[in-house]
Structure 1
Amino acid sequence: MQEVIEKLKPVVEEMLRNMGLELFDISFRRQKGSWVLKVVIDNLEGYVSIQQCEQVSKRLGDYLDLYDLIEHSYLLEVSSPGLDRPMRGIQDYKRFVGRLAKFWLNDGRFVMGHIKEADESKIVVQTQQEEISFEPGEVKRSKLEVEF
């Protein structure tokens, strides 16, 4: 069902841009016997509210009904990336300076701490014991961690 995503992605991106939001992820797949169109939205100014998810769901649902782009029944899910969201590169590292994060590095190391600084050449993380620096290209996977 990749063709559904290819048709929808630019439409969803434009819709979200007009609402001051951004597309984080979109997928269309079978889950437990039903087709699910999952749209994950982000707010670069802060967190995504329930009201924003509802607004996107309503607008996107109306659009899908009007143009009948999906030929069979499906569920539409609109959500945020969550508090423990994955980070996807240098823009996220810069955006979340000061936040607690986990980094899995290509060499097998695991680093957890507060992002102290981030730019195109290095990321600096303050762990409980020390300050650790590494290059963005060394990051295999990363995500924010919830702090209480």
Structure 2
Amino acid sequence: MQEVIEKLKPVVVDILKNLGLELFDLSFKREKGNWVLRVVIDDPNGYVGIKQCEKVSNELGQYLDVNNLIEHSYVLEVSSPGLDRPMRGVQDYKRFVGRLAKFWLIDGRFIMGHIRHADEVKVVVETESGMVDFSPEQVNKSKLEVEF
């Protein structure tokens, strides 16, 4: 159903932009016999709240109902990336300076600590055993960690 995603993505991005939000992920697939349109939203100024999800769900749902972009029944899910969200590169590393994160590097190393600095050349993480730095290109996968 890639064609559905291609039709919907600009609409979703526009709705979110008008609400001061960003698109984190968009998928449309069959799950347990039902079609599910999953929209994961992000707030560049903080965390996504339930009211924001509700607002996006209402606006997008109305748009989809009026314009009949999906020809069969489906479930619309709007959510946030979560507190332990994946990070998607330098912009996220910069955004989350000070936060606890996990990094899996392409050389097999695993690093967990607080992001102290991030730019296009270097990421600096303070671990329990000291400062570790690496280039963003070395990151295979990364995500925030929930800190209690």
What TM-score do you get using the length of structure 2 for normalisation?
Answer: 0.99
Aligned residues: percent identity? Answer: 72
Q: Which runs of 5+ in 2 are unaligned?
A: none
Matched, 1:130 2:130: yes
| Whole-Å separation in 1 of the counterparts to 2:16 and 2:82 | 17
Q: How does 1:55-70 map to 2 (within 5 A)?
A: 55-70=55-70
Q: What is the match of residue 18 of structure 2? A: 18
Q: How does 1:1-148 map to 2 (within 5 A)?
A: 1-148=1-148
Letter in 2 for 1:49: G
SS in structure 2 of the partner of residue 45 of structure 1: coil
What TM-score do you get using the length of structure 1 for normalisation?
Answer: 0.99
Q: Which runs of 5+ in 1 are unaligned?
A: none
Cα deviation, residue 32, structure 1: 1.0
SS in structure 2 of the partner of residue 61 of structure 1: helix
Letter in 1 for 2:65: D
Runs of 4+ residues over 2 Å off in structure 1: none
Cα deviation, residue 87, structure 1: 0.2
| Whole-Å separation in 2 of the counterparts to 1:122 and 1:34 | 44
Cα deviation, residue 64, structure 1: 0.4
SS in structure 2 of the partner of residue 46 of structure 1: coil
Cα deviation, residue 130, structure 1: 1.2
SS in structure 1 of the partner of residue 39 of structure 2: strand
Letter in 1 for 2:3: E
| Whole-Å separation in 2 of the counterparts to 1:114 and 1:135 | 16
Q: Deviations over 1:11-56 (max 9, x none)?
A: 1101100100000000000111110000000000100010000000
| Whole-Å separation in 2 of the counterparts to 1:27 and 1:36 | 8
SS in structure 1 of the partner of residue 5 of structure 2: helix
